[in-house]
Amino acid sequence: MKVLVVGNGGREHALVWKLSQSPLVKELYVARGNAGAWELARRVDISPTDVEALADFAAENRIDFTVVGPEAPLVKGIVDAFEKRGLKIFGPNRKAAKLEGSKAFAKAFMRKYGIPTAEYAVFDAFDEAARFVKARKAPLVVKADGLAAGKGSVVCKTEEEALKTLDAFLNRKVFGEACNKVVVEEFLEGEEASYIVMVNGERYLPLPTSQDHKRLLDGDRGPNTGGMGAYSPTPVITPELEKRIKELVVEPTLAGLKEEGIYFRGFLYVGLMITDEGPKVLEYNVRLGDPEAQPLLMRIKNDFLETLLTFYEEGKGKIEEDERWALDVVLASRGYPEKPETGKIVHGLEHLKKMENVVVFHAGTDVKDGFVVTAGGRVLNVCAYGDTLREAKERAYEAIRFVCFEGMHYRKDIGDKAFKYLKA
């Protein structure tokens, strides 16, 4: 088969890596990819958001199956463009992708179908939003309505911080059109976790559980990012809790989509806060998480392409999980997430390739003059397997000692949230 992966980041390198292991693959392409993905797949020099050009390329080159990594092409309608040409592509159409493309739409959907989430209000004008904030007690969460690369959600601990964020979003439009509206919601206390399922209409297939680390700095301090690391599985989601997540969140979501006349086929990511009252939805994403996809895909033992194809056609499939733990530490550029530096030479990758039970996924990298250089905020994902979470963590951080680039930054506490649950 000819297979195309769409996207540039660590999630897409992980998809390329996983799909390349399938004996079904004859030719593997990536658009546009990164320095790591290009070692395994042929580079297609088309932007992931140029959906018509990608659809033309897939038709002209007789691509048999396409897997979409990031949200932007999905929200822009890449699935609609491909299906118009009779091409098979795994991901939700434009209508379904609105679950991620608009926070206001997603919150209204949750309210309508009784899906547990934080109380909220939606605003398109600063003055009205400011009055609401002043009438409420901080902390509050302020979210840009549209896509902001994982950086449009701000936990505001004080009224002053909330007003400052509203000004940045509604008045200064720091994320462009994504800030035309904002959602202001109550701050939920608890433990975050990610629950991702493959969906085909009313059928779904759970993927391994995981936990992301959104904040830039150790101890969950600093601004929100696209994610600074993840591990799988997570002890936060027990078998009993997983049953509740399916009953309270996943199944009502799929029933609601059917009621709305929206056909969803692709990955559905549910970002959860596990509160004292039970699981509550922080957000929907309509694709694999990044960096959750990296350890998650590492732990899938069976032929993932075969699973995708079977699920695409029949809504059936199986996931065989590796019993080992997998942990991913993101190496980021200085200045991330606001203004990341780029063009820095990455040293030491050859050492990591020789290490057992260590896998490196590129995120923001390019090749210039024969050197791998930084080309984004999140640069590399250093991942490791372990028979225990502690072993996976130690192995990943040991591997990081061999790689460097100017201004490299990473968290030192990825996975630590799990230890209290494992001890219990």
Q: Which domains does the chain have, with CATH numbers?
A: 2-91 (3.40.50.20), 125-180 (3.30.1490.20), 191-314 (3.30.470.20), 325-423 (3.90.600.10)
Q: Over pLDDT 70: what percentage of the chain?
A: 100
Compute the distance between CA of residue 387 and CA of residue 84 in angstroms, rounded to an integer: 46
Q: Over pLDDT 90: what percentage of the chain?
A: 97
Pick the closest to residue 166 from 145, 189, 187 (CA basis): 145
Q: What is the mean pLDDT of residues 215-224?
A: 94
Pick the closest to residue 69 from 8, 150, 147, 2 (CA basis): 8
Examine the pLDDT at 424 and tell me if it is beyond 80: no
Compute the distance between CA of residue 117 and CA of residue 19 in angstroms, rounded to an integer: 35
Q: What is the mean pLDDT of residues 207-222?
A: 95
Query: pTM of the predicted model, to two decimals?
Result: 0.96
Encoded amino acid at 138, one letter: A
Pick the closest to residue 101 from 195, 175, 211 (CA basis): 175
Q: What is the mean pLDDT of residues 90-110?
A: 98
Examine the pLDDT at 150 and tell me if it is beyond 80: no
Report CA Rg, the chain. Answer: 20
Give residue 137's pLDDT: 87
Give residue 423's pLDDT: 84
The whole-chain average pLDDT of the chain stands at: 97
Q: What is the mean pLDDT of residues 338-364?
A: 97
Q: What is the DSSP string of 203-234?
A: EEEEPPPBEE--EEETTTEEEE-S-SEEEES-
Strand 89-90 and strand 65-68: the pairing is parallel
Contact 366, 34 (CB under 8 A): yes
Strand partners, 27: 2
pLDDT, tens digit (0-9, with 9 covering 90-100), for 256-282:
999 999 999 999 999 999 999 999 999
Contact 262, 249 (CB under 8 A): no
The helix (H) or strand (E) run that includes residue 330 is strand 325-332
Terminal alpha carbon distance of the chain: 47
Examine the pLDDT at 301 and tell me if it is beyond 80: yes
Examine the pLDDT at 130 and tell me if it is beyond 80: yes
Give residue 189's pLDDT: 94
Give residue 149's pLDDT: 78
